[in-house]
Structure 1
């Protein structure tokens, strides 16, 4: 859990593809603004970064099973495998799929 001081503001730039588009909005270091940038590109920025890789096939299946339940995933196993390949084994993509699939009456998307 991220705790920020009361006067601190978190700016989130999700799935950045063009650095020129966000460059004017990046605050100076040491300001009250904290920045979280998600991208699949090499940034070349001097900000601290945390590279998040893909899961293994087993890890992706385990994550979906944890989120949706063993019975549901086993029932649609081949489709589940296609889903995690579709999102390139990236955890946030699997969490998004799971959230949508939790709606009552939905099959694995």
Structure 2
């Protein structure tokens, strides 16, 4: 899977990363199902991580120095080629075929 991160989105992500260095930052494209009642009703979000969980896979990305990961069990909910964009003050996760989340939440490390 590949994720293309627009210049605007890269700038916004870099400004929100809660580490001294951007180098080596891990961001999960998560399919969040908490409170949804069903895995099919999940919502995509970006989660900054301090380590890669076991069995997670990496995404190919144009955002240098940042590693994007995902849970392969959730692969069915995403497209092979995706775009993270930043428009009108909000992150968006989309592909050529669909909009996954027009109000993509970014969750930094606590």
Per the normalisation by structure 2, the TM-score is 0.26
Bigger proportion of residues as strand: 2
Q: Give the number of the structure whose residues are more often helix, by fraction.
A: 1
RCO higher in 1 or 2 (8 Å CA, sep ≥ 6)?
A: 2
Task: Point out the structure with max Rg over C-alpha.
Answer: 1
